[in-house]
Chains A and B, each alone.
Chain A
Amino acid sequence: MINKKQPKKVLLKRGRIIDPFSKKTFIGDILIENGKIASIKKNISSKDKNIFRIDCKGLVVTHGFCDIHVHFREPGREDKETLESGSIAALAGGFTQVCTMPNTNPPIDSPEHVYYIKSKSNTLPIDIFPIGAVSLGQKGEELTEMLIMKDNGAIAFSDDGIPIQNAQFMALALKYSKMTNLPIINHAEDIYLRNEGVMNAGPNSNNLGLKGNPSLAESIMVYRDLALASSLGARLHIPHISTKDSVGLVKLFKSKNKLITAEVSPHHLYFCDDDIVDFNTNLKVGPPIRSKSDRKKLIEGIKSGIIDCIATDHAPHTIEDKETTFNDAEFGMIGLESCFGVVNKVLVKDNGMSLKSLIEKLTVNPRKIMNINRDLFAVGEKAQITIFDPNEKWKFSEKNIYSKSSNSPFIGHDLVGKVKYVFSKDSFFTL
């Protein structure tokens, strides 16, 4: 269970403070007063008896994580996730800010819907930034009121879940969104090439007799989007990049266009399609888990900075939606609670990435993409702090899940690195 306290003063002692904004790392203390950063230095001593002290020795103290790609299912499928249950799942993963995708029912395609999400989120323990739809009803035909949606709190625009198949409409959306200075996020998969594929096309799909979704279905549309955005000078963010060709294309276009960014999800870094040998429906995601060589390129891509950040694509589904055949199962998996243990294990422990670099991919980099304030350790800022043990080994299990759904293929897997405490919105949470 997550324990919540609201002390007036909190003193975090002797933690390894890593500030990814100022790029300073030191063993030191942080004092939080009335929910704001009051002081941050080598040694803060206080005689105050009412102060709430936490010994952070051996732990890393850093910015609250930010996940720019989650599906919270409210409104419409509150049985899978609500804004509230999703927030608790986020907290459990060390996230203090998330951006929610608009493919709810109804979709978030009007200023009123954006306002609804914003106002429902006010009382929640983390910040929620709604992403608005690009097109009305996510039909890919008519533009939404992007300018008014921005005024009501939209942080970006996406029809995620549904690729924008019409290139002319994509061009219009990129052009129009330039006036908002917010990124367009397109779920890049050519639906004709995807051809109802349910897993990566390759030897494994062939052995299992499952319809394959070729990696080209993604790469071709990634190329289209990069080319359009570059020629229009528009902001484009590529979500859940899954293929080696897409990584190569992002690298190519980034060298000439500074407005391009990309994310990768923990499951594409951790699994490859060799793992889908027994029709495990929890591994059915869109885009699919790709081959071993794709996975390797994704790891290289995030290490070298071609891919900017990690985003979970947290996609809750009911047991009924997953407890069925691979063909019938829904696409998606939850990912907030397991995220840090997964990416820390894959990237830092197994592939030699520095912990500082990993923290950037979870904090300043995603915030930069979404124009969210990144200087979180400035004195006077509202405190958003995540404290983790980078070396703790643990087995991910159902009891670590706070989401309303438990569709995680990580259950039973040994992870490394565990979030211990989070400070968010005036409250101190012990996990």
Chain B
Amino acid sequence: MLKSKHLIGLENFPISDLNKIIDTSFKFKEILNTPERKIGLLKDKTLVNMFFENSTRTKISFTLAEKRLGADSINFSASTSSVKKGETLKDTVQNIESMQIDGAIIRHSHPGSALKLTEYIDGSVINAGDGSHEHPTQAILDMVTLKEKFGKIKNLKIGIIGDILNSRVARSNIFGLRKLGAEVVVCGPSTLLPNDVSRLGVNVTNNVDEVLNWCDAVIALRIQLERMHLGRIPSKREYHNFFGLTYERINKLKKDITIMHPGPMNRGVEIDSKIADSENAVILDQVLNGVASRMAILYLLLGDKSSQI
């Protein structure tokens, strides 16, 4: 099992726990590929999925992981609950806590909300994304995917392209990949890069071709056209031309590189369809690995010590 009780972020997460989760994910992936697919490791556990912010993919992935492990889960989402202005996170959560739950998965638009939740409930807390802070389960599934592809993480060269400033996926990946010894270069328009990003132990550039020529794998981040991004970049066209994983750009590279995207994709903006659907793209593997790694996380945080897989 793990040293940690919660999974809030990768910045201060022990390396040994991170490695254990990654290794265990492969075991669950094997189970997912058997006809049974189900395993009752958490069959007496109750989990609550608290989604204060819309999310389809992460929520489905967690729900499936819980079901495959045989856990009982309750769904709580802001739209269907009594969350309204004035009701504090504390009140909302304590209502749920009184139902005696073993663990909570939280997605919230405010940084620090997952950590805050640990003050209010006795069970384990898993951060499914807190604002621009961290999204550790996404980073873990990305690392599982990389390890599956390359057999290791150490010394891999990883490029991350897009909104580094506001992306919790970028932040968690940087923390996790650096911890496991990968080299990371981040790339994006200057207005989407934090001033001090090099302090995180990564290199920074605005030149996407430079990154693609250097890296073993590239993670393209979603550009959020509906939200802040159009104030920070002049147009979709300019972004696509200068930072997009275009067919022309990838095609002229001297070697194959692995293409990743946390989804959902804006095809034709940060990534061309031809690239997203190409041989080198592992985007669908990321989805399946998401279920396997979330099973590993849930099992290692909540499972009985005596249980074996």
Contact = CB atoms under 8 A, between A and B. Distances in A.
A58 interface: no
A324 interface: yes
B196 interface: yes
A96 B133 CA distance: 44
Contacts of B112: 208, 210, 278-279, 325-326
A323 B171 contact: no
Contacts of A326: 110-112
Interface stretch (A110-118, A199-207, A223-231): A199-207
On chain B, which size bracket covers the interface? 20 to 34
A327 B196 contact: no
B110 A328 contact: yes
B200 A208 contact: no
B116 interface: yes
B133 A208 contact: yes
Nearest to B119: A323
A209 interface: yes
Given A323-B90, A324-B89, A327-B110, A210 B199 contact: no
A320 interface: yes
* Among A201, A202, A208, A278: residue with most chain B CB under 10 A: A208
A209 B115 contact: no
A281 to B, nearest CB: 9
Contact of A202 (B88, B113, B196): B196
Interface string A320-348: 10011111100000000000000000000
A206 B167 CA distance: 10
Number of contact residues on A: which range applies? 10 to 19
Considering residues A209, A278, A320, A328, which has the most beta carbons from chain B within 10 angstroms of its beta carbon?
A209
B90 A209 contact: no
B111 A210 contact: yes
A405 B112 CA distance: 23
Given A324-B88, A328-B110, A209 B200 contact: no
Contacts, number: 58
B270 interface: no
Given A279-B116, A325-B112, A326-B110, A209 B89 contact: no
A323 B88 CA distance: 8
B11 interface: yes
A324 to B, nearest CB: 6
Contacts of A203: 196, 199-200
B195 A201 contact: yes
A283 to B, nearest CB: 12
Nearest to A201: B195
Contacts of B113: 325
Nearest to B196: A203
A345 to B, nearest CB: 28
Contacts of A279: 111-112, 115-116
Contacts of A323: 88, 90
A351 to B, nearest CB: 27
Nearest to A328: B110
Contact of B111 (A201, A208, A320, A324): A208
Given A323-B90, A327-B131, A209 B199 contact: no
Interface of A: 201-203, 206-211, 278-279, 320, 323-328
Interface of B: 11, 88-90, 108, 110-113, 115-116, 130-134, 166, 168, 171, 194-197, 199-200
5 smallest CB-CB distances across A and B, nearest first, come from A279-B112, A209-B133, A209-B132, A325-B110, A209-B111
